[in-house]
């Protein structure tokens, strides 16, 4: 009996072995490619509800429909003169979900009531300044991703922005999101890729996002949101390469062309912005003529110094004045706001070195320091994610900003901002 069982067992093993050989012989590498292409190609749309662990394998997705948001391949450029969406569809490979990858999409939940203040005709809700043509305020703001790595400086067009956000990317450098409502400079540069923070900021300002691609994870999250996403890969028309510039600095965008594109594609809209509260008279606060922000030391340490003659703060980075190459003047701001926000690590890989993205939570409520006229006021920022943030005193009363442009410095809650002081070499942070 034992002998019979032994031979039966050997027969089962041999049968399984030869079955596998036959299957492999019948499926050559070309056959597997053909089968996988048939079952794993699709055209993503704004309605796609895919798994967050999709891994993109191709680099040339199909073109989106007008006004839609799409999932795209990783940081891929369209060659000048060519059109997007004419080659191979995206091929995706599904893998087992990783327990550490649990992205939370930044779709805001509106509060019961959002108060929109009344303003004089032609007052820009983002600057408090009166524009000569009120019709420019009846269009969608544009949010532009601008680099701030040392090779990106000096940038072009930042002086024309109404509001600029600065945030840490990959923990070693900072990057800007510049919002333009009242102006349309013909050159804003250098254009960089989007990050997770743009899933929240773009909705807060109901803006059109201008960027040069992004990682798979970031692009997927953006594709799930009801935003106008003008990724350069899909909409190359407003972008151009500047002559005699390095590859880090050459990509630029024309904001006049951006608005023309949105008009043609039915993306333009007269959005209603809460904006900020403004006052002409200086208000009380603690003296604050120097602001030091300990962003990454090797690339982005930031200093603002108040200039009494102009009433503006002037900007330095890594010990050098931050200049605008368009105006040949130092960057300045009527208001500087330090925006303390939670920074969460993710497993979204952003570059070939394996650096990972940061999820910065700018919806909800947190500490804020508002600097204007050489003084600082302690307070809070708060937003439900559907509107621009409010800046309020601890008792809930609004903190009035000075009329003019605002720079918002987003930092982790543990950052120690120095006021009226600069660090000694031993105190500098990495």
Non-local (6+) Cβ contacts of 409 within 8 A are 166, 293, 302, 336, 337, 338, 339
pLDDT of 81 strictly over 90: no
Nearest to 335 by CA among 399, 394, 388, 392: 399
Residue 424 has what pLDDT?
75
User: How many CA atoms within 13 Å lie on the side-chain side of 392?
Assistant: 12
> Under a CB-based contact definition with an 8 Å cutoff, are residues 221 and 105 in contact?
yes
Pair of tokens at residue 75 = 């940081």
Nearest to 156 by CA among 328, 304, 408: 328
Distance CA 28, CA 47 (A): 36
Average pLDDT on 277-282 reads 93
> For residue 143, how many other CB atoms are within 10 A of its CB?
27
Pair of tokens at residue 373 = 């006229």
pLDDT of 113 strictly over 60: yes
> Under a CB-based contact definition with an 8 Å cutoff, are residues 308 and 374 in contact?
yes
Q: What are the distances in angstroms from CA 380 to CA 113, 188, 394? A: 19, 31, 7
Grouping H, G, I as helix, E, B as strand and the rest as coil, residue 40 is helix
Average pLDDT on 422-428 reads 66
Pair of tokens at residue 56 = 């993109």
Grouping H, G, I as helix, E, B as strand and the rest as coil, residue 223 is helix
Residue 283 has what pLDDT?
85
> Under a CB-based contact definition with an 8 Å cutoff, are residues 335 and 163 in contact?
no
pLDDT digits (tens, 9 = 90+) for 14-72: 444 444 433 333 333 333 233 222 222 222 323 223 323 222 233 333 334 333 333 33
Distance CA 75, CA 61 (A): 12
Average pLDDT in the chain: 80
> Under a CB-based contact definition with an 8 Å cutoff, are residues 175 and 166 in contact?
yes
pLDDT of 96 strictly over 80: no
Average pLDDT on 105-124 reads 77
Least confident of 21-30, 329-338, 346-355, 385-394: 21-30
Least confident of 25-29, 89-93, 242-246, 291-295: 89-93
pLDDT digits (tens, 9 = 90+) for 217-252: 999 999 999 999 999 999 999 999 999 999 999 999
Non-local (6+) Cβ contacts of 374 within 8 A are 287, 288, 289, 306, 308
> For residue 416, how many other CB atoms are within 10 A of its CB?
11
Average pLDDT on 106-128 reads 82
Alpha-carbon radius of gyration of the chain: 26
> For residue 386, how many other CB atoms are within 10 A of its CB?
16
pLDDT digits (tens, 9 = 90+) for 164-177: 999 999 999 999 99
Residue 5 has what pLDDT?
46
Place of tokens 């004419």: 86
Pair of tokens at residue 268 = 């333009």
Confidence of residue 105 (pLDDT cuts 50, 70, 90): low
Distance CA 382, CA 266 (A): 31
Nearest to 177 by CA among 390, 414, 388: 388
> Under a CB-based contact definition with an 8 Å cutoff, are residues 174 and 295 in contact?
yes
pLDDT digits (tens, 9 = 90+) for 200-221: 999 999 999 999 999 999 999 9
Kindly list the domain boundaries of the chain, sorted by start residue.
Answer: 128-430
List the strands of the sheet with 41-42, edge to edge: 41-42, 90-93, 55-56
Residue 284 has what pLDDT?
86
Q: Which CATH number describes the domain made up of 128-430?
A: 3.50.90.10
Grouping H, G, I as helix, E, B as strand and the rest as coil, residue 261 is helix
- Longest CA–CA span in the chain (Å) reads 104
Least confident of 70-79, 127-136, 294-303, 308-317: 70-79
Least confident of 75-79, 347-351, 388-392, 394-398: 75-79
Burial class (CB in 10 A: 0-12, 13-18, 19+), 382: middle
Grouping H, G, I as helix, E, B as strand and the rest as coil, residue 327 is coil
Distance CA 195, CA 214 (A): 7
Non-local (6+) Cβ contacts of 422 within 8 A are 290, 292, 303
Residue 222 is given by DSSP the state H
Q: What percent of the chain has a predicted confidence (pLDDT) above 90?
A: 69
């Amino acid at each position: 009996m034992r002998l019979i069982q032994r031979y039966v067992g050997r027969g089962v093993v041999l049968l399984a072995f030869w079955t596998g050989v036959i299957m492999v012989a019948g499926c050559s590498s070309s056959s597997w490619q053909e089968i996988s292409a048939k079952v794993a190609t699709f055209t993503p749309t704004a309605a796609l509800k895919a798994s967050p662990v999709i891994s993109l394998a191709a680099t040339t997705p199909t073109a989106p429909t007008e006004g839609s948001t799409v999932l795209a391949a990783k940081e891929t450029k369209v060659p000048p003169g060519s059109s997007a969406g004419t080659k191979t569809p995206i091929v995706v490979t599904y893998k087992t979900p990783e327990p550490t990858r649990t992205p939370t999409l930044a779709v805001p939940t509106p509060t019961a009531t959002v108060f929109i203040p009344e303003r004089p005709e032609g007052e820009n809700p983002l600057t408090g300044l009166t524009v000569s043509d009120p019709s420019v305020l009846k269009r969608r703001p544009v949010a532009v991703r601008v680099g701030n790595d040392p090779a990106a400086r000096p940038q072009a067009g930042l002086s024309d922005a109404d509001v600029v956000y600065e945030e840490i990317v990959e923990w070693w450098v900072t990057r800007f999101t510049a919002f333009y409502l009242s102006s349309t400079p013909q050159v804003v540069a250098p254009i960089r890729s989007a990050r997770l923070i743009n899933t929240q900021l773009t909705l807060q300002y109901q803006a059109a996002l201008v960027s040069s691609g992004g990682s798979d994870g970031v692009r997927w999250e953006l594709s799930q949101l009801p935003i106008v996403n003008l990724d350069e890969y899909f909409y190359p028309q407003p972008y151009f390469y500047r002559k005699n510039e390095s590859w880090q600095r050459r990509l630029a965008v024309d904001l006049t062309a951006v608005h023309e594109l949105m008009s043609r594609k039915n993306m333009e809209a007269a959005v209603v912005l809460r904006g900020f509260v403004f006052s002409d008279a200086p208000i009380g606060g603690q003296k604050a003529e120097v602001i030091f922000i300990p962003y990454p030391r090797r690339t982005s340490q930031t200093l603002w110094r108040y200039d009494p003659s102009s009433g503006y703060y002037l900007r330095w980075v890594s010990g050098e004045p931050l200049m605008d190459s368009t105006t040949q003047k130092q960057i300045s701001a009527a208001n500087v706001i330090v925006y303390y926000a939670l920074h969460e690590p993710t497993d979204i890989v952003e570059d070939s070195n394996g650096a990972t993205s940061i999820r910065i939570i700018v919806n909800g409520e947190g500490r804020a320091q508002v600097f204007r006229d050489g003084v600082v006021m302690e307070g809070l920022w708060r937003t439900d994610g559907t509107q621009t943030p409010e800046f309020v005193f601890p008792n809930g009363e609004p903190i009035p900003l000075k009329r003019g442009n605002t720079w918002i410095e987003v930092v982790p809650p543990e950052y120690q901002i120095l006021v009226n002081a600069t660090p000694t070499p031993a105190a500098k942070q990495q």
